[in-house]
Amino acid sequence: MKTWVLKASDIKRDWYVIDAEGKNLGRLASQIATILRGKHKPIYTPSMDVGDFVIVVNAAKIQVTGNKMREKKYYRHSLHPGGLSTRTLQEMLAKHPERVIRLAVRGMLPKTKLGRTLIRKLKVYADGSHPHQAQQPKPLELSQDA
């Protein structure tokens, strides 16, 4: 028996478009992270980028459970004394809905060079349109209970 080693030429990347309207933020982010990482493919290799591109539309229409709209906080620091600023999920969705999904997915990817490469394959848009029609993305329906 010989060990099969994945080569970069063996990787075939697809484009998927996901409609985030009415989807739960955490469940959506974990499913997107799985696709970006390539864990849905039989050729998955943990140390290589074998995942697909993901386009998320209607990011402003995601849902969360409980009181997360008011209680979930996003922190930033300017690296100056007293430079901590916080925003709630409600404020982030009003100003930058793309960042909410991007930050949720980024937290589920590896914190290495590989993770920084993978997050570049995620394209998030607040409304229902995207400029990636030339890549012929396939619509992907995600299950809510996964």
Nearest alpha carbon to residue 64 among 54, 73, 55: 73
pLDDT for residue 118: 97
pLDDT for residue 107: 97
pLDDT for residue 146: 53
pLDDT for residue 115: 97
pLDDT for residue 58: 97
Which mean pLDDT values do the consecutive 10-residue runs of the chain (146 residues) have?
88 96 96 97 93 97 96 97 97 96 97 97 96 95 71
pTM across the whole model: 0.92
- Residue ranges of domains in the chain, CATH in brackets: 13-65+96-139 (3.90.1180.10)
* Long-range interactions of 36-41: CB distance < 8 A, separation 24+: 36/105, 36/109, 36/118, 36/119, 36/121, 36/122, 37/109, 37/118
